[in-house]
């Protein structure tokens, strides 16, 4: 049985925020209302999609090496990202994936950890100004920190977003995702020429030029620096030329030296596609995950006490930088992050297009069908997560995770097209959260559940996340009395 639900009302909502919250609620409503229905068909404007939210159904699609094509909606990312790792398919995707997988080797991620430490400490200095004062919205602070991290690790470029939030590049990165998401949900904006007749279409074009001009200049600058390094190795470079050359490795450096099986190097366009993709996938997603984690921790003081106990065991009273060995010891903090991603997965939905017919729960699904997978709904399946609306990090302890369906929890997707940067993201989230919580006790005047998720390209809070900070040394004894 396939239930059909018309979504035309979504496009008639006047307020964007109301529409995005309503979409999230509708998905969860359908999950609860039709939990015994094997397949659910939705219409987004003129396009039908098949929504999957059962682990067994999702496994059929994601675990296949054939169903790696992306649906129509991903074309709206092409002007910014081209056909990089996120949006490409077929032979191009397979070649890129093979070439880029070594980029996320543990030894390279360890190099990135130093950047994460430095930027997390800058964030702490910014937050210091709010200690023992009125509640404040933490979202922008977190977003600017993750933007600084991704710029330096992806491009080897310090942009100082935490100190210069008004730069045009920073504004463009923060704006572009919103523009793309609104276009996806507005069929009247799908036609490229018509889109430019609208004000937001022209704004999209303007922001695109800023983003591409910036990455163009950074790629050219970095290529020149690597050339100087090679000349230095041959002892033919002057001291003046070496001045300013950055020793720290970046994702861009690896791309500049990458070759395929035939020994062919990436073109400038190839490199730009992957750098822009890494920027897009590695900034907002991590910022959202961190914001939801801080909100959840602030709402659950008993969870925060356990985190502080673990941090004290690992770091004591020291203020040294976090190492990769330290991260391995932060088991409970990892459970907290995973539970926050269960409740609020950074990517609220992702899609595939079937390249051939297949059977899902006994029903034949024809070739060409667009599939949408909703981690938000999947992660609330009471079969795998009893009392799914409760925040319980212990769900992800080794003993409680054992035997759970491998496709019941997908914050980073799964199968051949899983998120290539998930270890990077987990390392960053742990490092930033640990740095904040080593310094502060976090509270919030908001109750858990007061803030509703907004289903944009990224699952963001629909309102400000207000927190209050106390210094650790002053708050530990107070927290024990709670």
pLDDT tens column, 27-48: 777 777 766 777 888 887 788 8
Which H helix or E strand runs over 418?
none
Q: CA 335, 339, 340, 341 torsion: positive or negative? A: positive
For 70-81, write each residue's pLDDT tens digit.
998 899 999 999
pLDDT (mean) for 243-267: 74
The band of 14, judged by pLDDT with boundaries at 50, 70 and 90, is very low
Which residues are CB-contacts of 14 (< 8 A; sequence separation ≥ 6)? none
Q: Is 346 helix (H, G, I), strand (E, B) or coil?
A: coil
Q: Is 455 helix (H, G, I), strand (E, B) or coil?
A: strand
Can you name the residues that pair with 440 across neighbouring β-strands? 471
Place of tokens 């977190």: 142
Q: Are strands 39-44 and 2-5 parallel, antiparallel or unpaired?
A: parallel
Residue 135 sits at φ, ψ, to 5 deg, of -60, 150
Q: What percent of the chain has pLDDT over 70?
A: 88
Q: Considering the domain 2-480 in this protein, what is its CATH number?
A: 1.10.630.10
Q: What percent of the chain has pLDDT over 90?
A: 59
As a residue count, the chain comes to 482
pLDDT score, position 258: 81
Q: Is 45 helix (H, G, I), strand (E, B) or coil?
A: coil
Q: Minimal CA–CA distance to 113: which of 432, 363, 381, 334? A: 432
Question: For the chain, how are helix, strand and coil distributed in percent, rounded to 5?
Answer: 55, 10, 30
Is residue 242's pLDDT more than 70?
no
Domain boundaries, the chain: 2-480
Q: What angle do CA 53, 59, 63 make, to 5 degrees?
A: 140
pLDDT (mean) for 374-391: 93
Report how far residue 10's alpha carbon sits from residue 19's, in angstroms, rounded to the nearest whole number. Answer: 6
Mark residue 263 as left, alpha or beta (left: phi above 0; alpha: psi -120 to 50; beta: remaining). left
Can you name the residues that pair with 466 across neighbouring β-strands? 137
The band of 122, judged by pLDDT with boundaries at 50, 70 and 90, is very high
Averaged pLDDT of the chain: 86
pLDDT (mean) for 228-238: 63
pLDDT score, position 196: 94
Is residue 482's pLDDT more than 90?
no
Q: What is the DSSP letter of 471?
A: E
The band of 4, judged by pLDDT with boundaries at 50, 70 and 90, is very low
pLDDT (mean) for 235-261: 65
For 145-202, write each residue's pLDDT tens digit.
999 999 999 988 898 999 887 778 888 988 898 899 889 888 899 999 999 999 999 9
Which residues are CB-contacts of 19 (< 8 A; sequence separation ≥ 6)? 10, 13, 185
Are residues 381 and 32 in contact, defined by beta-carbon separation less than 8 angstroms? no
Can you name the residues that pair with 3 across neighbouring β-strands? 40
Is residue 248's pLDDT more than 70?
no
Rounded to two decimals, the pTM is 0.88
Are residues 31 and 53 in contact, defined by beta-carbon separation less than 8 angstroms? yes
pLDDT (mean) for 87-116: 87
């Amino acid at each position: 049985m396939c239930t059909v639900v018309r979504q035309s009302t979504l496009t008639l909502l006047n307020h964007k925020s109301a529409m995005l919250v309503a979409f999230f609620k509708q998905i969860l409503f359908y999950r609860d209302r039709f939990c015994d229905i094997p397949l659910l068909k939705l219409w987004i404007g003129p396009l039908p999609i098949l929504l999957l939210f059962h682990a067994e159904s999702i496994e059929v699609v994601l675990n296949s090496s054939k169903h790696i094509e992306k649906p129509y909606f991903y074309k709206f990312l092409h002007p910014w990202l081209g056909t990089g790792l996120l949006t490409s398919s077929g032979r191009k995707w397979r070649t890129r994936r093979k070439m880029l997988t070594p980029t996320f080797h543990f030894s390279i991620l360890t190099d990135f950890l130093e950047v994460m430490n430095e930027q997390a400490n800058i964030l702490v200095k910014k937050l210091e100004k709010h200690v023992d004062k009125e509640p404040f919205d933490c979202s922008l602070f977190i977003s600017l920190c993750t933007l600084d991290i991704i710029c330096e690790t992806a491009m080897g470029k310090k942009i100082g977003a935490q100190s210069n939030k008004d730069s045009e590049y920073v504004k463009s990165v923060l704006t572009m995702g919103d523009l793309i998401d609104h276009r996806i949900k507005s069929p009247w904006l799908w036609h490229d020429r018509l889109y430019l007749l609208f004000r937001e279409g022209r704004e999209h074009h303007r922001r695109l030029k800023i983003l591409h001009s910036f990455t163009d200049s950074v790629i050219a600058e970095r290529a020149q620096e690597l050339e100087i390094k090679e000349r230095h190795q041959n002892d033919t470079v002057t001291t003046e030329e070496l001045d300013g050359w950055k020793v720290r490795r970046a994702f861009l450096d690896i791309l500049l030296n990458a070759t395929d099986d035939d020994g062919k190097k990436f073109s400038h366009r190839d490199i730009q596609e992957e750098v822009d993709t890494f920027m897009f996938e590695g900034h907002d997603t991590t910022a959202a995950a961190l914001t939801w984690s801080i909100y959840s921790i602030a709402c659950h003081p008993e969870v925060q006490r356990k985190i502080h106990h673990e941090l004290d065991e690992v770091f004591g009273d020291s203020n040294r930088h976090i190492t990769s060995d330290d991260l391995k010891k932060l088991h409970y903090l990892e459970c907290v992050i995973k539970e926050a991603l269960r409740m609020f997965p950074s990517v609220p939905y992702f899609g595939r297009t079937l390249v051939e017919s297949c059977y899902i729960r006994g029903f034949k699904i024809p070739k060409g069908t667009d599939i949408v997978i909703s981690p938000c709904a999947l992660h609330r399946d009471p079969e795998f997560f009893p009392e799914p609306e409760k925040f319980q990090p212990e769900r992800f302890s080794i003993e409680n995770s054992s035997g759970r369906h491998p496709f019941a929890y997908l914050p980073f997707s799964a199968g051949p097209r899983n998120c290539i940067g998930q270890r990077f993201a987990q390392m960053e989230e742990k490092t930033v959260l640990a740095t904040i919580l080593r310094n502060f006790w976090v509270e919030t005047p908001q109750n858990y559940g007061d803030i509703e998720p907004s289903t944009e390209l990224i699952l963001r809070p629909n309102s400000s996340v207000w927190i209050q900070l106390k210094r650790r040394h002053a708050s530990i004894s107070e927290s024990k009395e709670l």
